[in-house]
Amino acid sequence: MKPHRIFFAVWLLANIPVPLVAADLNARITIEAGAPGHAVSPLLHGIFFEDINYGADGGLYAELVQNRSFEHAESLYAWSLVIRGAEGGIDITTADPLNAKNPHYLRLEVAKPGQGFGIANSGYGGIALKAGENYFFSVRARASENYAGSLRAVLEDETGRPLGECKLDGLTTVWKKLEGTLKSSGTVTHARLVVLATATGRVDLDVVSLFPEHTFHDRRNGLRADLAQMLAELQPAFMRFPGGCIVEGRDLPNRYQWKDTIGDIAERPQNWNRWQDAIRGQTAPQYYQTYGLGFFEFFQLCEDLGCEPVPILNCGMACQYQSKQLVPLDQLDPFVQDALDLIEFANGPTTSMWGAKRAAMGHPDPFHLKRLGIGNEQWGEDYFARYQIFQAALKAKHQEIQVVSGAGPGVDDGSWKLAWDKFRGGTPADIVDEHYYRPAQWFLENSTRYDAQSRSGPRVFAGEFAVRDGRMRSTLHGAIAEAAFMTGLVRNGDLVAMSSYAPLFAKAGAFQWQPDLIWFDNTRVFGTASYHVQSLFARNRPDFVVPVTVEGAPIVLPSLPARDVATYGATPLPPFHPDSLPTLFAVAGRDDRAGDLIITVANPFAEAREAEVVLRGVARITPDVRATVLTSGSADDENSFESPRKIAPRDESFTVAGPVFAHRFPPNSLTILRLKIRE
């Protein structure tokens, strides 16, 4: 018999005080392993996606051409003229366009074709190509009657050396989609796509597109495989989409409208991205949304990741920090109808109007939408007036859909208090979305914030959170503070239904918001320390928790900074601020399928903790313990493109002689222990 299969009898420990097993231990974690507590929400750990920091266009969405439809305000942005012994002119025009949603297109007037007259696109800071890979090119084009040529699409490196080429025939006087495949002969980071006319006459071009053949799950109009794989490795239980403030828009016309994001990509109207100028000093005037990664692709990605979709919709309010625009209550119907139609698009039969559109896009089966958010980070009476209208309409038609409601941008402030007063009062709510971007200390202080919260009200969605301070970095210290806080989310996994770190992606050299979970450029990607924390929690979510007590010298906290003293009307709110922190942050629970006891311990302090781990109420355990440890040499360490795995989980194993054992929890660490136990 293999040693790890040998179970051995140990003490029946329930209620028997246990002596320390060594003299120099400075902490004790007692786990009532045989006392099952409440179930932990299976949706607890998910992801938040927003097109911020070039997360979608130029990021996860694998399109390599920027400004493919010439709809940017600077209409030739990312394009340049190519004249090879030719003569002619170009124009951006709108006469008789491809369709009304995509009004601008490029016109080439070729007087003398030479070796080619056309344009080149430099992508999102260069087009990255791999030798031997295929790239799918497509374009909507038409030509004047006298045009007797074809189109050439060429991939070129920075020096103009051709790396791959295809010829497209079949131009007529009516708009038509032409497609071809180019194989790259080289691996380069800054290629460009050149499109050339080859004869005299007029050629009109629109929706010029280039995709790698290999996308995530090899889908057409798909997603960058390496970035999507990073999401898969997080093992998310749900995906929140499309944000974030992008849902609200800077003003109402700029808001996210899901109906603009489905169907043929040529018929999805472009929108400017509200992160163009949302943050002072971080402007990105050419940041646009193609909506190529739209609601269909979102639902499909959820299916590919095996997670639940959680869409968040505009509730008739634009950003309350910026334009503050409101849709009058008597004009809210189209907004409510959008929400109802989205449910039909996701779940409706193929005979329904929106279900048929889903089927036409290649997915006759439903997407099994179960939850829907009304408003992003809205607050105040204006929100509740609108929320109630949505809530009533949704529940009247779709009892099966749980509604996610907002609690504003803060927690423990007046708007947040008003929200909870409403949701615990007459305003019905299923799940309340709370956001916290706070310094590490706040996360440590708030690991118990849900311990005493009433279970009779709505459940909580920790919908956006991250350690964020003046340094805007993704350090090990911040990640371990998040882990310490998350032990509280798991412990309260009956109340906290869902949680997601935010934002998810950031593109090097093109970001608006820090810190972020995943950094990438056109060829590389790495997860921050926080990424590994999210992944470890998702992979080690217990089915139910068991009681845990931590003993050891408490860490006394400095007095509360004035910033945290909020008011509600004229009344100061009692801040959530414990006098001291536990010597370790721990939670434990059972993984039914694996038959494991999972012990999760965060040590956010600069000193190691030599702890005695006491398992009570177990009859037998295996001697083999599997440990996963996330730590690094310094609290200030970060991952980077150069050292992408400086901070990464490390697997270890050790043996124990019984249900009381000593274990060292390193400074600035997250440790997950898995043991097989029998009650």
Active-site residues, by number, are: 377
- 551 by Cβ neighbours in 10 Å (0-12 / 13-18 / 19+) ranks as middle
Question: Is the separation of the CB atoms in 417 and 573 below 8 Å?
Answer: yes
- Residue 463 C-beta: closest distance to ligand AHR, Å: 8
Nearest CB to ligand AHR, comparing residues 311 and 355: 311
Nearest CB to ligand AHR, comparing residues 250 and 268: 250
Nearest CB to ligand AHR, comparing residues 348 and 503: 503
Give the number of C-alpha atoms closer than 13 A to the C-alpha of residue 526, restricted to the C-beta side: 15
Helix (H) / strand (E) element for 393: namely helix 381-397
Helix (H) / strand (E) element for 491: namely helix 476-491
Question: Is the separation of the CB atoms in 196 and 117 below 8 Å?
Answer: yes
- Residue 230 C-beta: closest distance to ligand AHR, Å: 18
- For residue 516, give both structure tokens: 């972020």
- For residue 425, give both structure tokens: 């009062």
Question: Is the separation of the CB atoms in 227 and 214 below 8 Å?
Answer: no
Nearest CB to ligand AHR, comparing residues 50 and 612: 50
Question: Is the separation of the CB atoms in 525 and 518 below 8 Å?
Answer: yes
Residue whose pair of structure tokens reads 């805007």 in the numeric block: 472
Nearest CB to ligand AHR, comparing residues 153 and 245: 245
- Residue 250 C-beta: closest distance to ligand AHR, Å: 12
Nearest CB to ligand AHR, comparing residues 446 and 628: 446
**Strand (E) positions, 455-542?**
459-467, 496-501, 505-507, 518-520, 525-527
- For residue 401, give both structure tokens: 């859909």
Residue whose pair of structure tokens reads 């449910």 in the numeric block: 343
Give the CA distances from residue 389 to residues 75, 314, 333, 370, in Å, rounded to whole numbers and listed in that order: 40, 13, 9, 19
- 423 by Cβ neighbours in 10 Å (0-12 / 13-18 / 19+) ranks as buried
Question: Is the separation of the CB atoms in 27 and 256 below 8 Å?
Answer: no
If you count them, how many residues does the chain have? 679
Q: DSSP readout, 541-592? A: --SEEE-EEEEEPPEEPPPPPGGG--EETTEEPPP---SEE-SSEEEEEEET
Q: Could you list the residues that contact ligand AHR (CB under 6 A)?
A: 50, 52, 243-245, 376-377, 409, 435, 464, 502-503, 513
CA distance 31 to 601: 12
Question: Is the separation of the CB atoms in 126 and 174 below 8 Å?
Answer: no
- Residue 307 C-beta: closest distance to ligand AHR, Å: 19
Closest CB to ligand AHR: residue number? 244
- 89 by Cβ neighbours in 10 Å (0-12 / 13-18 / 19+) ranks as exposed
